[in-house]
Amino acid sequence: HSHPPSYPHSRDDDSPTHSNPDNVRKKRGLGVVCGCFRAQDAIPTQPLKPTLPEAAPPSPKAKSYLGPQRGRDVGKKTLVLDLDETLVHSSFKPVANAAFIIPVEIEGNVHDIYVLKRPGVDEFLAYVARFYEVVIFTASLSKYADPLLDQLDTKRLCTWRLFREACTLRNGSYVKDLSKMGRDLATLIIIDNSPLAYSLQPDNAIPIKSWFDDDNDRELFDLMPILEALAMVEESIPTVLKQALSTVEGEEADMAMNEASHNHRR
């Protein structure tokens, strides 16, 4: 079936899969795993030089979405960020506290789209741009997302922008195929509120809860020390993220065994 031409997503079409227990475990495991090698919580005046594993260059056979790394990004790992419900929430309904209002022409009529910013998004983008080559990859159309990003990212901290045309359509849904980006998957992380979006490369993903309007949300703040630590690891990103998941699964298994043993003794 054809995908609706909607721009902002509503609560109704949000994927419920962000509450998948594996995603929750993976996030918790990252705190455990990254705690071993993470930099000091205090923000250093000069970021440490991120280390990259030895890697084969991407296969040249297909044209990549991204060109060569530029200037400040050379040698950094790549962080791919979703837009809607990850960094912002947009709605056609007027809201009093909108950060931006984006006029978009749809079928000959101009509609205003009201955009709310997730708590911490400005600090988050400024922070991660020190350690990563930052890419915004959204399934939204560029005529909505591009002017939104012009206002969200006024300092151009995000080097690349990819829109719906860069997505792969699978079973009526837009999927982000990270293998087409022209970057080594060993050095690439995606953060997206929809597991379907990264279903081709789930081991490269850090899950994040969908955000609509919760002023007390702390997800972006919580991710900052984790991402700083991941920028420094020498192992491949999928290896570290899988280790995070297995670490927590092991902890849960131990807790279950202890509880069973305790109940048995009673």
Q: How far is CA 11 from the centre of its chain?
A: 19
Tokens of 155: 């300092």
Q: Do 116 and 88 touch, CB atoms closer than 8 A?
A: yes
Spatial separation of the C-alpha atoms in residues 115 and 84, rounded to whole Å: 10
pLDDT-derived band of residue 44, with 50, 70 and 90 as boundaries?
very low
pLDDT digits (tens, 9 = 90+) for 145-160: 999 999 999 999 998 9
**Confidence class of residue 12 from pLDDT cuts 50, 70 and 90?**
very low
Mean pLDDT, range 98-116, rounded to an integer: 93
Q: Residue 54 pLDDT > 80, yes or no?
A: no
pLDDT at 41: 34
Among 67, 49, 78, 96, CA closest to 232:
49
Domain locations along the chain? 15-39+75-256
What pTM was estimated for this model as a whole?
Answer: 0.76
> Is the pLDDT reported for residue 250 higher than 70?
no
Q: Give Cα separations from 47 to 18, 39, 87, 228 (angstroms).
A: 31, 10, 24, 9
Catalytic residue positions?
82, 84
What would be the CATH architecture of the domain defined by 15-39+75-256?
3-Layer(aba) Sandwich (3.40)
Burial class (CB in 10 A: 0-12, 13-18, 19+), 140: buried
* 236-254 average pLDDT score: 79
For residues 263 and 204, the model is more confident at 204
Structural tokens at position 74 = 């050379």
Identify the pLDDT of residue 162.
94
pLDDT in tens, 163-214: 999 999 998 899 999 999 999 999 999 999 999 999 999 999 999 999 999 9
What pLDDT score was predicted for residue 258? 74
Using CA atoms, how far apart are residues 263 and 266, in angstroms rounded to an integer?
5
